[in-house]
């Protein structure tokens, strides 16, 4: 419970600066995303375990919260597209949905690895496959881009969760048995590299 409040405080502080920012600051944005991920992880544990409703119950509850957030956002703003998030009220809806999505994603990751018995490598294959399916729908169909965005976003969290578990869990459990520090460093470096190349790609298009 204490860790939830600590991570929530960090997230709220970053979110404050993110909403106040007049233009896109990639590192601020992505570190706010990371902060929402940690909040989502602790909230998912709280809902799944402390409330005693399990992964299925927790995932169902969180899916309902994501849908409620998107519905409320649409009713107020008339759009749930991330491209319309350019002023504070829309940003609040956006980040609320992001946080619920992160929490849902964590619960789905735990469910796939534990309840479904896929293990960490199986979970990675499952979620990579689903994300590739969404990418194919984006490339070759006219399915709503907004729907595809939120679907992909939800799936990135369980993928990240099972990758993280794969890195630091014991070899006997199907992991690589890296230390928590090493695993976190690997993931952080990967994130920074992705942000760097994303910025370069955006700059070239501009």
* pLDDT of res. 203: 53
Q: How many CB atoms lie within 10 A of CB 129?
A: 11
- CA atoms 53, 44, 99, 150: torsion sign: negative
* pLDDT of res. 204: 56
> Under 8 Å CB-to-CB from 23, ≥6 apart: which residues?
none
* pLDDT of res. 80: 92
* pLDDT of res. 201: 64
pTM confidence score: 0.85
* pLDDT of res. 103: 86
* pLDDT of res. 44: 82
Structure tokens at 199: 């910025």
Q: Considering its fold, how many domains does the chain have in total?
A: 1
* pLDDT of res. 77: 92
Q: Which residues constitute the domain of residue 39?
A: 2-205
Residue bearing tokens 């233009």: 23
Q: Are 161 and 106 in contact (CB under 8 A)?
A: yes
Residues in the chain predicted with pLDDT less than 70, given as ranges, are: 1, 200-206
């Amino acid at each position: 419970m204490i860790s939830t409040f600590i991570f929530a405080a960090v997230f709220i502080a970053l979110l404050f600066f993110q909403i106040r920012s007049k233009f896109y600051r990639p590192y601020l944005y992505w570190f706010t995303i990371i902060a929402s991920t940690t909040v989502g992880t602790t909230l998912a544990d709280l809902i799944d375990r402390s409330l005693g409703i399990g992964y299925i119950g927790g995932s169902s509850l969180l899916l309902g919260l994501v849908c409620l957030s998107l519905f409320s956002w649409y009713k107020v703003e008339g759009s749930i597209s991330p491209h319309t998030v350019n002023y504070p009220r829309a940003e609040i809806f956006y980040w609320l949905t992001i946080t619920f999505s992160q929490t849902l994603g964590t619960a789905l990751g735990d469910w796939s690895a534990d309840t479904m018995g896929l293990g960490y490598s199986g979970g990675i294959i499952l979620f990579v496959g689903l994300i590739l399916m969404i990418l194919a729908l984006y490339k070759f169909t006219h399915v709503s881009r907004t729907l595809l965005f939120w679907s992909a976003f939800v799936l990135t969290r369980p993928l990240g969760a099972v990758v993280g578990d794969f890195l630091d869990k014991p070899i006997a459990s199907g992991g690589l048995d890296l230390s928590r520090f090493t695993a976190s460093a690997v993931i952080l470096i990967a994130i920074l590299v992705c942000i760097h190349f994303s910025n370069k790609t955006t700059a070239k298009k501009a």
